[in-house]
Amino acid sequence: MRSNPPARDGNDGTWGAWRAVFQRDLRIALRRRADTGSALVFFVIVVSLFPLGVGPQFELLRRMGPGVVWVAALLASMLALGRLFADDHADGTLEQLLLSPTPLPLLVLAKTAAHWLASGLLLVLVSPLLALQFDLGGAAGGVLFLSLLLGTPLLSLIGTIGAALTVGLRGAGVLLSLLVLPLCAPVLIFGAGAVEAAQAGLGVAAHFSLLGAMLLVALFLAPLAAAAALRIAVE
C-alpha cells in the first residue's frame, strides 16, 4: 500500500485524483472555447437546416421535431467525442493516468463527467430554444429537455467506450461513429419516444424509467469497458 500521509485537505487519495482529473478537463474545455463550442454550433445548425429542407408547415415540424433534435444531439455528441482521449494520448497524459494508483475506471468516469458538462449539458440547455423552432412548446418542450438531460450522459458514457477503443488509430473519427452510433440507437428510440408519447397525451414515465435504467447500467459498466479498452490501446 502507499505510504502517503493521511489526507488533510481532502485533496489526497482516490477522491482527490478523481477531482483533479475532473477539474483539469473542465479547465481545458473552458480554455478551448472554440473547440467546446463547435459541437454546440453544429447542433444548432443541423436542427435549423431541417425546417429549410422539409418546408415550414408546423404540422409536419411538430411530428418531426423530437426525432430531429435527438438525432442532431447524437451526431453533435459524436463530434465532441473524438477529443476525449486523443489529446491526452498525443501528449502522454494518458500513460500517466494508466500508471496512477487510482483505479482507472474512476479516472475515466471523471473524464466522461467533465466531457458531458462541456458538451452534452450545453446541448440540453439550448434544446428548449430549438424546440420552439419546431413548435414544441409547453409540455412537449419540457419533456424533450428532460429526456435529453437523462439521455446525453448516456451518450457520453457509451461514446467513451468507442473513444477509448479508437485512441490513436488513423481515421478514428469515422470509425468512432461506426462503432458508437448503433449502440446509441436504444437511447434515441426511448428519448424521442418520450416526447412523442407526451405529444400524444400518453404517460412518459415508462420511457424515462427505461432511460434511467440504461443510464445506471452504463454508469457502472461503461467506465470499466472503456478502461479495459484504454489499457489495450496503450499497452
Partner 1 sequence: MSWTRYAAPQRFYPLAGRAVPWFAGLALLLTVLGLYIGLLLAPTDHQQGDAYRIIFIHVPAAWMSMVIYLAMAFWAAVGLVFNTRLASMLAIALAPTGAWMTFIALWTGALWGKPTWGTWWVWDARLTSELILLFLYIGYMSLHAAIDDERRADRAAAVLALVGVVNVPIIYFSVKWWNTLHQGASVSLTRAPSMATTMLWGMLVMALAFWMYSIAVALARTRVIILEREHNTRWARQVLGSA
> What is the total count of residues that contact partner 1 (CB under 8 A)?
21
All 3 cell numbers of residue 229? 479498452
CA 169 to each of CA 102, 157, 178, 234: distance values in angstroms, whole numbers, following the listed order? 26, 20, 14, 11
Does residue 146 touch partner 1 according to CB under 8 A?
no
∠ Cα 29 35 37 (to 5°): 90
Does residue 84 touch partner 1 according to CB under 8 A?
no
Does residue 182 touch partner 1 according to CB under 8 A?
yes
Minimum Å distance from CB 124 to partner 1? 25
Does residue 232 touch partner 1 according to CB under 8 A?
yes
Does residue 86 touch partner 1 according to CB under 8 A?
no
Pairwise CA distance, residues 109 & 32, whole Å: 21
All 3 cell numbers of residue 41? 454550433
Does residue 140 touch partner 1 according to CB under 8 A?
no
**Candidates 4-12, 82-90, 100-108, 169-177; binding stretch for partner 1 (CB under 8 A):** 169-177
CA atoms within 13 A on the CB side of 184: 30
Considering the complex, state which of residue 59 and residue 235 has its C-beta at the smaller distance from partner 1. 235
CB contact set of 60 (below 8 Å; sequence gap of 6+): 54
Does residue 41 touch partner 1 according to CB under 8 A?
no
Q: Which residues of 200-228 are buried (b: 16+ CB within 10 A; e: fewer)?
A: eeeebeebbebbeebbeebeeebbebbbb
Does residue 128 touch partner 1 according to CB under 8 A?
no
Of the candidate residues 26, 79, 98, 175, the single one contacting partner 1 (CB under 8 A):
175
Residues that bind partner 1 (CB under 8 A): 161, 165-166, 169-171, 175, 178-179, 181-183, 185-186, 189, 225, 228-229, 232-233, 235
